[in-house]
Structure 1
Amino acid sequence: MSATSWVRIVRPENPRPKTSSRPDLDRGRGRSLRSPRSHRNEDRDPCIDICQFDARNRWCVGCARTVEEIRGWRKLTAFRRTALCNELKHRMNRLRRNV
């Protein structure tokens, strides 16, 4: 029989993390809390939590998307999201004029 030796790993106590002057950095360690692409408009969901649909054109009053566009948002490529966001601006203007 072979003898098993156990090794105990002791981690030193971490000193209090430094605070950063930039709020988007993780406690001065240089890692961003946000994903690198999260600042782009096409990656953000345009929903503003006003989910009421216009009966005439079936667009959401809050974001101007259809139900199908809302359901498929995560599956869209960045190019298609950008194209849809540009279209949503025009739709919102049409919704405001019709109100």
Structure 2
Amino acid sequence: MIDQVTPKTSKVSSKGQVVIPVELRRKLGLQDGDQVTIDVNDNNELVLKKLPTALDWHNLITTIPNEKVDIDQNGHYNPEKAPHFHDWMNED
């Protein structure tokens, strides 16, 4: 279940800046220097999304198996030497 946050009010400064209230920053996990995308949906509502950080990407790719796969001229490989590749090749 998604935690609901009470809608907050913020003003637009003369420079076009908007302060994101602390409760919303915490909910999104926003910290100083984080990048966000801002878009307008079909209902003319602003949509703010946090972009992944370098650490987010690092944590994601460390979970991806990495192994050497030797494939012969006929396209065969040894499943015992490349079990992750074998599992990937046999996914439904």
Q: TM-score, normalised by structure 2?
A: 0.23
Work out which of the two has the higher radius of gyration on C-alpha atoms and give 1 or 2: 1
The answer to which structure has the higher helix fraction is 1
- Determine which structure has greater relative contact order: mean sequence separation of CA pairs < 8 Å that are 6+ residues apart, divided by chain length: 1
The answer to which structure has the higher strand fraction is 2
Q: TM-score, normalised by structure 1?
A: 0.22
